[in-house]
Structure 1
Amino acid sequence: MKSSSAQAALGFSDRPGWDFGDYPYALEPLALPAPHRSVTLPAGALPAAARDAVDRFLDEAHRGFGTTDPVDADSLEQLFWFRWMVGHHVSFVIWRLLADALADVADGTGDQDAAAVRLTEYVRAYCGMLLYTGSSTRTVYQRTIRPSMYRQHNKFSGTWAPDYPAVRSLFRGRRPPPVVLSRAPALLREIALTNRIHLGVASKLVDQGRSLLQHAVLEGDVGSHRTWGAVFDCYFLTLRAPVTPLDVTAQLLRRQKAIAIDLATNGLYPDVGEDPDPVPEELRDPAVAQCEQDLVPALVRTAALAAGRGPVQEATGRGATGRVR
């Protein structure tokens, strides 16, 4: 990760407008440390230059990051591929931040109320990323995204992600984390919402609402897990490298800015003249609509927390999701 392009990908955005990849809706690889390494910046640990960059990001988020080239019917595939990849990148970082917050709660040390707030905000942001990655039309998903996973492995699954095991029990709800009692209801609501959205997106995009792995389990042997993590990382352009929490934070903010610009330009569900897909019952829930409207503000709150800048109550400006349905 020593080339000039790699250094740029690990740095904070330093100019207005779209500056992710080489052009709008292009991609960059994500560099993450090994799963057992913390990616959380301690409060007050930002160097002065990085602190200024984060503050500029937050200020620009409140004003609105602006827009870029809108998509049309011919470029929907490029847009939804970008959302699939970059939305997953943000999700991977959120999982890592969640794992760190869960460790703080389990230790019982430090500010437990603040740890509970971080958990809840990170889960909320992950709800938004489920909607963002799942915003593809069924046609594009079935024609492009799903076959791309199947070509890697016919049992491809998100559960193969090396960063997922640390948060698996949280999302399955089998053993809620021992957060302070006053914060538990909000956290549990967000966890339940992730499951509702996941089911809704699966119903919208996948035959019978099943993942590739679920189909494989029904068919019998699911094979060896030894290479699954590597296959998963390669597919999602994720590199394992000795990067610092500051590097991870910069990559997170770069992607959040690109997502905000995309949504300000195209809306969560781009209106390009095609008939919309039917909306599954799970995605008609009012809580899902609220999450759609909160998608960009939740990312901004997550950015502030990840950078150790404290909670951000509200984010306004032109970063809203636009037309929802």
Structure 2
Amino acid sequence: MKTSSAQAALGFSDRPGWDFGDYPYALEPLALPAPPRPVTLTAGALPSDAEEAVTRFLDEARHGFGTTDPVDADSLEQLFWFRWMIGHHVSFVIWRLLADALDDVTSGTGDQDAAAVRLTEYVRAYCGMLLYTGSSTRTVYQRTIRPSMYRQHSKFSGTWAPDYPAVRSLFRGRRPPPVVPARAPALLREIALTNQIHLGVASKLVERGRSLLQHAVLEGDIGSHRTWGAVFDCYFLTLRAPVTPLEVTAQLLRRHKAIAIDLATNGLYPDVGEPADPVPHELCDPAVAQCEQDLVAALVRTAALAAGRAPVPGTAGRAR
């Protein structure tokens, strides 16, 4: 019996090379349960076929997933739209994984050292996703991406994401999570780096470095919040459904593989003859450069943790 596209999108991949969407840089919807339902797999929850798929994914990641059709100046818009959408999908899942790990830390449930490691690795991967979604040229962002959000709502903002409230306090640094003391400095460094990268990307892409919502605040017009989450999900092709943690993990791995292939093919900042945008000072920090080089490896470490495995050292396929 032929597997439906919906089943394929929720399942683990068994094909080499690009297998996301119908062609390179195509999109698939993301299915997530509504918060606060957990998305983290419990210990020993993987059936044997899923175990095999995860093992295959991690083995392939060690050697690199290969490449696909590179972009040129005429297809930059398609690439950056793909990155904008899929990078946000991965961020949404990371937020949910972070929320689950925060629950473990605040409740004192399970191995607290392991929970602190998960928190740090997930924040590190989110730093990478900020760079990935923000890799667009300013021209493409201003011509295509920003107007698409404005057409949905003139005050469109990432803070409307239904999965964000559970991790808002973590990224704003108002109340550091009570992780084991030895792990706290590394976690706090990664949290600070997310804020630095976010400011740098905003400075690179947006006039005066402000989001649509920040402009709305200055104008004194915030509007009604009742439909914001639904508008946000519709824009980012995110469906709310009773999917299992196993299905969430499968979707995450599929996206990680597609991102790794994209970066192996095009690099984080494609060199196709377009003039380079000025780099804001926030993005000139050596810590940001290190995060760029670690982007693919951080994603694979996150995939391993999400699947109940230890992080994978020495992962191939850096963002060149």
Partner SS, residue 239 of structure 1: strand
- Tell me what 1:134 maps to: 134
d(CA) in 2 for partners of 1:15, 1:312: 21
Distance 1:87 1:230 in 2: 19
Distance 2:109 2:204 in 1: 42
Give ranges in structure 2 of 5+ residues lacking alignment.
none
Query: Is residue 222 of structure 2 the alignment partner of residue 209 of structure 1?
Result: no
Tell me the equivalent position of 1:165.
165
User: Matches of 1:44 and 1:124 in 2, distance apart?
Assistant: 25
Give runs of ≥4 in structure 1 deviating > 6 Å: none
What is the CA-CA distance between 1:310 and the residue it aligns to? 1.9
Q: CA contact under 8 A between 1:62 and 1:315: conserved in structure 2?
A: yes
Residue 48 of structure 2 corresponds to 48
Superposition CA RMSD, Å: 0.9
Structure 2 residue aligned with 1:92: 92
Provide the residue aligned with 2:309 in structure 1. Answer: 309
- Which residue number corresponds to residue 34 of structure 1? 34
Alpha-carbon shift at residue 45 of structure 1 (Å): 1.3
TM-score (norm 2): 0.99
How far, CA to CA, are the matches of 2:98 and 2:223 in structure 1?
29
Letter of the 2:214 counterpart: Q
1:154-179 per-position Cα deviation (integer Å, ceiling 9, x unaligned): 00000000000000000000000000
Q: What is the distance in 2 between the residues matched to 1:312 and 1:106? A: 26
- Name the SS for the 2:31 alignment partner: strand
| Offset of residue 311 of structure 1 | 2.3
CA distance in 1, matches of 2:112, 2:314: 22
Secondary structure, counterpart of 1:21 in structure 2? coil
Amino acid at match of 2:179: V
In structure 1, distance between residues paired with 2:11 and 2:164: 25
- Unmatched tracts of structure 1, length 5 or more: none
TM-fit CA distance, 1:138: 0.1
Structure 1 equivalent of residue 144 of structure 2: 144
Corresponding position of 1:68: 68
- Distance apart, 1:305 and its partner CA: 0.1
Q: Do residues 260 (structure 1) and 260 (structure 2) align?
A: yes
Counterpart of 2:200 in structure 1 is 200
Matched residue SS, 1:215: helix
Match of 1:7 in 2: 7
Q: C-alpha separation between the residues in 2 aligned to 1:24 and 1:120? A: 31
With normalisation by structure 1, the TM-score equals 0.97
Q: Distance in 2 between matches of 1:311 and 1:271?
A: 31
Equivalent AA in structure 1 for residue 312 of structure 2: V
SS at match of 1:31: strand
After superposition, give the CA deviation of every residue in 1:39-97 in whole Å (9 maximum; x if it has no partner).
00012211000000000000000011000000000000000000000000000000000
Q: Could you tell me whether the CA contact under 8 Å between 1:296 and 1:320 is conserved in 2? A: yes
Q: Which residue identity is paired with 1:23?
A: Y
Aligned counterpart in structure 1 of residue 318 of structure 2, from 294, 317, 320: 320
Are the equivalent residues in 2 in contact too, given 1:31–1:243 (CA < 8 A)?
A: yes
Match of 2:218 in 1: 218
2:281 counterpart residue number: 281
Counterpart for residue 57 of structure 1: 57
| 2:78 maps to 1:78 | yes
Q: Which residue of 2 aligns with 1:239?
A: 239
